[in-house]
Structure 1
Amino acid sequence: MVNSKSRKTGIVILIAVILVLSVVVISAADGVTPGSEQDPIVTQSYVEQKSEQIKYYIDSLIAKANGDNAIQNQEIAKLKAELELKNQEIAKLAEDIKNVSAGGSGRFEVVEMQNNQILIAGEGAEIIPRSGKFSAIYGANGGLSDITSAKDLKDAEAVINNHMLIASRGDGRGVKAQADKSFLIIKGTYTIK
């Protein structure tokens, strides 16, 4: 009987070991949720879920890029408007420079006058008679200033060559040529009659 008892005990132990191993294997298999990261098999629902997440991410990036483009387009339009204003300012300044240059630049200009021609100086004009004969013309508020002689010239007074004359106002003061081929240099605005 001992043999049969030990045989029965061995069979019971063997069955117990098989049962314990079966429980361990079954519980390990139940621990993996289908579609989870531990599941080696990917299901269609998992793929669709990830596909929707990727699509949402791409759509959000596109929307952000479009929003950035709208902001950039607004900035570009603003900069274009500012550029147009600056171009208008530049054009106005160029016109002002042209007008100043036409009316008298920062340089002296040689002027040839014939007998009895009159040069009316603009405000601030500088005149230096070089050759020939000239007489002063009185303006509404006074005459030319001969700064070389430190005096004001009277109407019809003879002007000395190589003296610097300044017209402090543009009120009709100037010089009249008293000989053919009289030359002077002038800086500033003037008109010849």
Structure 2
Amino acid sequence: MNRYTKIFGILVAAAVVAGGVNWYQSAYADVQQTTPGLADDPIVTKSYVDQKITELKNGGASGGDAGADPAAAPKLEVVTVPFGAKLMVGAGGEVVVRTGKAVAYSSDTNGLSDLTAGSDIASDMSVATNHLILFPRDGRGIEPDPKQKNGLTVLVRGSYLLK
């Protein structure tokens, strides 16, 4: 045999052995070595389930959003806006127009944010019903459309003032 043929054969054999070892290690790399009965064990035992049920009955494990108090969150309030009045909403307030045709009001050139449509509502533009409207700053509000003679029924979250 030629000298280069022997070297080539040895290199091919070494590559096959190295590839086989690499394949074997990667095939078994995802297998977790756990002790049966522990929390890491993929097979759930009755005692583990009973332990978790007991923890939940006793107030649960610590975690989650422990600081959030649902009672402290601002509530949605139903407000009727009579014709000729303006509903001025405080900064960060939200409004959903339920009935009637509303028009946006702003004391400056900026408008309101329609979170449902993902658009900006300039002053004197109509506000769609059943859309969530965000008031980013004070001095903005809504009023009934002057072309109609009815008022509005809206849901308000946050501070507001009827003028």
CA RMSD of aligned residues (A): 1.6
Q: State the distance in 1 between where 2:128 and 2:122 align.
A: 13
Cα deviation, 1:85-125, whole Å, max 9, x if unaligned, reads xxxxxxxxxxxxxxxx9xxx610000011112101110100
Q: Percent identity?
A: 30
Match of 2:82 among 114, 130, 134: 114
* Uncovered stretches (5+) of structure 2, i.e. residues with no partner: 1-71
Match of 1:174 among 138, 141, 156: 141
- Residue 181 of structure 1 deviates from its aligned partner by 3.6
After TM superposition, list the pairs within 5 Å mapping 1:36-185 onto structure 2: 106-140=74-108, 142-170=110-138, 172-178=139-145, 179-185=149-155
CA contact (8 A) 1:142 1:173 kept: no
Q: State the distance in 2 between where 1:169 and 1:115 align.
A: 24
* Uncovered stretches (5+) of structure 1, i.e. residues with no partner: 1-100
| Counterpart code for 1:125 | G
How many corresponding residue pairs? 89
CA contact (8 A) 2:109 2:123 kept: no
Q: State the distance in 1 between where 2:121 and 2:131 align.
A: 12
More strand as a share of residues: 2
| Counterpart code for 1:184 | V
Q: State the distance in 2 between where 1:140 and 1:187 align.
A: 22
- Residue 180 of structure 1 deviates from its aligned partner by 1.9
- Residue 143 of structure 1 deviates from its aligned partner by 1.0
- Output the TM-score relative to the length of structure 1: 0.44
Q: Please state whether the residue corresponding to 2:95 is helix, strand or coil.
A: strand
CA contact (8 A) 2:109 2:122 kept: no
- Residue 141 of structure 1 deviates from its aligned partner by 5.8
- Output the TM-score relative to the length of structure 2: 0.51
More helix as a share of residues: 1
Match of 1:187 among 131, 135, 157: 157
Q: State the distance in 1 between where 2:114 and 2:90 align.
A: 16
Larger RCO, structures 1/2 (Cα 8 Å, 6+ apart): 2
Moved segments of 4+, more than 6 Å: none
